[in-house]
């Protein structure tokens, strides 16, 4: 087993800490200090007492700090708090960390928090300990770290099991000593929370006192602007920020990764920020490079960071499209950390590796001007750290409590909140209308801003004031229409940054989500222009005849098929993964309704019995296998081998396969999250743009079939397929 982990170890310089050789040389300074305190004072020396001299001021302060540290360590030892210490030198003159590895691994989960001596880090340690975890609190400053441990103990946090270990995340030797300690003490690590970070700017804390009385009257934007105006960005601070916030987190992660791989449920939580979102970049090319996770490498990330620092030094930040508006280095470092998180999650799928923004918290970094308390911010970190074993990975999780921001509508969070994708027309628009008529606050999303505004205005004209369509750039348009209470949000389901912005908005406004209706879809075909949509031509046609007519109006190309799979399956999945943490915060049982079709039933795989059985065996089926199936389908489509390989036949082959995959994913998700109600809903053959109005049902009737599933009672079916409001079989 040791050799297997050695092979996985990503950084060669840390390999010795799995099975380390006996180090040579004297123990480090910190070790001798702790050893003196832990092993007791030396025997009294004999001989004349040395002459007392008055130390200099600086020496007195150092002495006071040392005395305070000594008092704390003795106090903590008396209370049973563990302080790591080196073992006595062996006969060979070498020293090692205390060999405390136990033959039976600890039954408690082991969590390690960097930057744990104050703010969000300290609160994270306290909350994890109160939940019965054994916590390793780390801090750069030993005295402050010991004070933090003592504070947790004195707070009476339910027999808190917290140990301290000194750590400077930018010092390879310090990180290595920590890895050595965790290995010897526990033999594994279950949770790593990379919380340590710095602002990357020069700020004068005295300035806070000047605006203390004004803070409560400021909204978030005003507070951030005040901080920007009273901060100074220097090259040295920028370089230090990149070193600490990116390379420091990476150094710690690489050192502890082998121990996390020994856990049965390893977690890495990288504490990030909304400042790290790619929307803060002004260069489309940079955004694409940071977001192209399939091509991005750690080496390229380092090259990008070097470019940033070079541009910073040359005063070319704005010219080259890097983030501006203050805290540039912090934004770039967090963007790099987010990208590294995604790279790492792909490399180690057995771990749950996520980013988290705890919110705008009152901490030293924010000069205590935030809107959330450290307790609130830390609760978000803890929730992500304790996500279930089958929870999301490679996700950017937004804060899970609602911001106290100016402009929030206090009555909204008490109502149920629903999101409808593709909500500007047809079935989606009708779903929005009917949910709002039922007293639910609806977030109407659409890819096209203009059509979204028109849809929101139409519903507002019906007296449905609970419709929300959010797109910041369109605010002025709404005000001009007299719709000042409507907020905008555009959504492109295949664009991860667009989806992230929606998640950010929902978190800020509501802090939860109760219903998600994934309605956005494309046909997977290229239709001809100017098709006659006169309904009289359909009189006397049955469903099959209408579908044959519809098929003749277009053609199925590889590009259209690929777009169909990307939108109808992967777009739906992307939205679900981004909003899942908010659905888990629902006051009831969160609902996910994936608008499907009878075209997605497994009967269409009549010529491939093995694949039909495989896709129906939800106990064994995985998301990775679904990806493989869709990849094979597209390759066979491009090669003209669909019929030979047993795929569905025309018409709408890509639409059918995307819906087959979405149905299967729905069942996987329902098994993974039994606390939610996750179902598919076929609205029927509806008169919409996608069907060129050839359907039998009106959008109102189709919308009602979807809403019926969205409003099923708590404890209702999950992992089910509904055909026009009635539960049916996935086989067909």
In angstroms, the CA 356 to CA 313 distance is 30
Residues ≥6 apart with Cβ < 8 Å to 414: none
How many Cβ atoms from other residues are within 10 Å of residue 458's Cβ? 16
- Cα–Cα distance list, 347 to 11, 352, 397, 561 (Å): 14, 11, 20, 29
Indicate the pairing of strand 441-444 with strand 417-420: parallel
In angstroms, the CA 282 to CA 285 distance is 9
Question: Could you tell me which of 129, 193, 190, 204 has the C-alpha nearest to residue 167?
Answer: 193
In angstroms, the CA 174 to CA 555 distance is 63
In angstroms, the CA 282 to CA 73 distance is 50
Is 335 within 8 Å of 278 (Cβ atoms)?
yes
- Cα–Cα distance list, 640 to 81, 635, 652, 703 (Å): 69, 9, 15, 36
Query: What are 722's strand-pairing partners?
Result: 681, 727
Q: Helices (H) and strands (E) in the chain — how many of each? A: 25, 19
Is 664 within 8 Å of 391 (Cβ atoms)?
no
Question: Could you tell me which of 172, 169, 165 has the C-alpha nearest to residue 11?
Answer: 172
Q: What are phi and psi of 727, to 5 degrees?
A: -65, 135
Catalytic residue, from 17, 246, 247, 330: name it.
330
Residues ≥6 apart with Cβ < 8 Å to 700: 430
In angstroms, the CA 631 to CA 617 distance is 20
In angstroms, the CA 582 to CA 390 distance is 16
Residues ≥6 apart with Cβ < 8 Å to 582: 398, 400, 503, 506, 507, 510, 511, 512, 513
What is the SS3 assignment for 697? Answer: strand
Give the neighbor-by-neighbor strand order of the sheet with 441-444.
467-468, 441-444, 417-420, 515-518, 591-595, 677-682, 721-723, 726-728
Is 595 within 8 Å of 518 (Cβ atoms)?
yes
Q: Establish whether 330 is a catalytic residue.
A: yes
What is the SS3 assignment for 554? Answer: strand
* Terminal CA-CA length for the chain: 48
In angstroms, the CA 708 to CA 723 distance is 11
Residues annotated as part of the active site: 330
């Amino acid at each position: 087993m040791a050799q297997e982990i050695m092979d996985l170890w990503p950084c060669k310089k840390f390999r010795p800490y799995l099975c380390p050789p006996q180090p040579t040389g004297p123990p480090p300074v910190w070790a001798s200090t702790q050893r003196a305190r832990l092993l007791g004072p030396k025997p009294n020396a004999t001989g004349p007492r040395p002459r007392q001299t008055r130390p200099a001021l600086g020496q007195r302060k150092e002495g006071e700090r040392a005395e305070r540290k000594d008092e704390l360590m003795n106090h903590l030892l008396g209370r049973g708090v563990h302080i790591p210490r080196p073992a006595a030198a062996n006969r060979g003159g070498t020293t090692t960390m205390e060999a405390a590895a136990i033959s039976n691994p600890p039954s408690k989960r082991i969590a390690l928090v960097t930057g744990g001596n104050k703010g969000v880090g300290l609160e994270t340690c306290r909350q994890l300990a109160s939940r019965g975890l054994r916590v390793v609190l780390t801090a750069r400053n030993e005295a402050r770290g010991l004070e933090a441990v003592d504070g947790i103990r004195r707070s009476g946090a339910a027999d808190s099991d917290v140990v301290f270990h000194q750590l400077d995340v930018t010092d390879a030797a310090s990180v290595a000593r920590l890895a050595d300690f965790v290995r010897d003490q526990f033999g594994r690590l279950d949770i790593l929370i990379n919380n340590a970070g710095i602002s990357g700017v020069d700020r004068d804390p005295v300035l806070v006192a000047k605006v203390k009385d004004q803070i409560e009257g400021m909204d978030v934007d005003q507070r951030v602007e005040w901080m920007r105006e009273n901060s100074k960005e220097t090259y040295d601070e920028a370089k230090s920020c990149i070193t600490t916030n990116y390379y420091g987190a990476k150094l710690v992660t690489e050192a502890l990764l082998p121990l996390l791989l020994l856990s049965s449920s390893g977690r890495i939580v990288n504490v990030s920020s909304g400042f790290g979102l790619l929307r803060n970049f002004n260069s489309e090319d940079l955004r694409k490079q940071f977001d192209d996770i399939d091509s991005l490498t750690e080496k390229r990330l380092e090259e990008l960071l070097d470019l940033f620092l070079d541009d910073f030094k040359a005063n070319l930040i704005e010219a080259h499209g890097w983030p501006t508006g203050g805290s540039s280095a912090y934004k770039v470092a967090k963007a790099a950390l987010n990208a590294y998180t995604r790279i790492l999650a792909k490399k180690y799928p057995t771990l749950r590796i996520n980013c988290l923004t705890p919110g705008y918290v009152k901490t030293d970094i924010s000069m205590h001007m935030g809107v959330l308390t450290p307790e609130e911010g830390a609760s978000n970190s803890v929730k992500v750290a304790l996500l279930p074993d089958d929870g999301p990975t490679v996700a950017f999780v937004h804060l899970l409590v609602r911001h106290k921001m100016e402009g929030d509508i206090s009555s909204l969070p008490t109502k149920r909140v629903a999101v409808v994708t593709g909500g500007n027309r047809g079935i989606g628009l009708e779903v929005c209308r009917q949910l709002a008529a039922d007293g639910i606050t609806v977030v109407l999303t659409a890819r096209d801003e203009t059509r979204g505004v028109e849809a929101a205005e139409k519903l507002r004209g019906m007296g449905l004031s609970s419709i929300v369509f959010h797109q910041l750039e369109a605010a002025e348009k709404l005000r001009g229409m007299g719709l000042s209470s409507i907020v905008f949000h555009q959504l492109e389901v295949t664009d991860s940054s667009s989806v992230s912005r929606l998640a950010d908005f929902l978190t800020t406004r509501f802090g939860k989500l109760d219903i998600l209706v994934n309605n956005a879809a494309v046909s997977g075909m290229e239709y001809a222009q100017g098709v006659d949509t006169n309904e009289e031509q359909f009189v006397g046609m049955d469903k099959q005849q209408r579908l044959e007519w519809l098929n003749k109006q277009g053609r199925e190309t590889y590009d259209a098929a690929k777009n169909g799979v990307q939108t109808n399956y992967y777009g739906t999945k992307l939205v679900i993964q981004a909003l899942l943490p908010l659905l888990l915060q629902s006051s009831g049982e969160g609902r996910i309704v994936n608008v499907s079709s009878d075209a997605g039933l497994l009967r269409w795989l009549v010529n491939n019995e093995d694949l039909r059985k495989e896709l129906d065996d939800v106990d064994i089926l995985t998301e990775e296998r679904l990806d493989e199936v869709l990849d094979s389908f597209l390759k066979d489509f491009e090669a003209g081998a669909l019929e030979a390989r047993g795929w569905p036949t025309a018409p709408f082959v890509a639409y059918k396969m995307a819906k087959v995959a979405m149905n299967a994913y729905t069942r996987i998700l329902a098994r993974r999250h039994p606390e939610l109600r996750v179902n598919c809903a076929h609205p029927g053959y509806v008169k919409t743009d996608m069907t060129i109005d050839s359907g039998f049902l009106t959008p109102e009737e189709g919308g009602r079939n979807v809403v019926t599933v969205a409003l099923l009672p708590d404890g209702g079916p999950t992992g089910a397929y509904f055909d026009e409001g009635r539960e049916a079989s996935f086989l067909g």
